[in-house]
Chain A
């Protein structure tokens, strides 16, 4: 249910960024959403569209870049995506690996049409 607030925060960030590009029209915003971020991508997309429809932001698309949980092996240093909660390192078999990403909620890019 907090996806509406998050959609609004994304829009605010776009608004702030676009001020640095006078005359440019924002077309697409890229948002990285980790599987541990507690955000439902469909719900976020729906809210974003509801928020922009019929406004000056109508032509702006939201691209959600889904990020799986990723671990790092302290023994051999390899990094790998987690599938089915199997945390063991696929390279050396170490079982105590550390989560390095998968909980992000970050803006990655903004595509703009230059005047």
Chain B
């Protein structure tokens, strides 16, 4: 028996496409954000509240993934920004190749903020790089405050935790201090925002966070243009 050493990432094909996407986003100064949560935590609601706050000339677009239906795309299209639905037909997560296909014929130069709404699932999307600048994990207070410990991979890889539905805190046994502590045990650097997409509470902080990220990407693109 001979043992052949291998040093190869299992998802290297996905990673290769994700690198290509990331390069493309960087070249065009596009901030790409990958939103991940379990089903029903409020990804679409957060996007609705986000889009409704933007002026019509903002260069924003959304790719939204679901196993079936284009319900989310229809919900989001009402705000007048370009939206495309990715229907995975059973696959529990989005992969980089799906993003690349969905962007075909859709000049990403025309956009400087691209949201990807992943399939509702806290597990599998964590393993697939989509070329995004950051993963954002949403958690709602009707879920358990120990979710970060149960699903560490996604909390480890996310730059931001958005805690949604805080208007329901008086009615549910959810400990905000505990979820903060649990999330930081997995990822000490994770940023945390508390919002309610129903009442609008905390959305100002979310918009500020977005503006900061966009500013950083814009500066980077400018710097790139100067150097080139």
Contacts and interface: CB of A to CB of B under 8 A. Distances in A.
Interface of A: 1-2, 5-6, 9-10, 13, 17, 21, 24, 27, 30-31, 35-39, 85, 87, 96, 99, 103-114
B32 interface: no
A13 B127 CA distance: 18
Contact of A2 (B92, B152, B157): B92
B7 A2 contact: no
Identify whether the interface residues of B are mostly helix, strand, loop, or mixed.
mixed
- Across the A-B interface, give the 5 residue pairs with the lowest CB-CB distance, nearest first: A38-B153, A2-B124, A85-B185, A38-B126, A107-B6
B127 A105 contact: yes
Contacts of B127: 2, 6, 37-39, 105
Interface in B137-184: 151-154, 156-157
Given A9-B10, A9-B11, A106-B9, A37 B4 contact: no
Contacts of B10: 6, 9-10, 13, 31, 105-107
Contacts of A27: 1
Interface residues of B, number: 30
B5 interface: yes
Interface in B89-123: 91-93, 121, 123
B52 interface: no
B226 interface: no
Contacts of B208: none
B56 interface: no
Identify whether the interface residues of A are mostly helix, strand, loop, or mixed.
mixed
Interface of B: 1-11, 13, 91-93, 121, 123-124, 126-128, 151-154, 156-157, 185-186, 188
A105 B156 CA distance: 15
B153 A87 contact: no
Contacts of A108: 5-7
B123 A85 contact: no
B9 A2 contact: no
Q: Find the residue from A24, A31, A99 having the highest chain B CB count within 10 A.
A: A99
A96 B184 CA distance: 12
B102 to A, nearest CB: 19
Given A13-B8, A110-B4, A110-B6, 10 more contacts: A2-B92, A2-B93, A2-B128, A27-B1, A37-B127, A85-B186, A96-B188, A105-B10, A108-B6, A111-B3
A5 B94 CA distance: 12
A13 to B, nearest CB: 6
A34 B93 CA distance: 20
A111 B2 contact: yes
Contact of A103 (B3, B93, B121, B153): B153
A98 B123 CA distance: 23
Contact of A112 (B2, B9, B92, B153): B2
A26 B92 CA distance: 31
B123 A38 contact: yes
B79 to A, nearest CB: 31
Contact of B124 (A1, A30, A87, A96): A1
B96 to A, nearest CB: 13
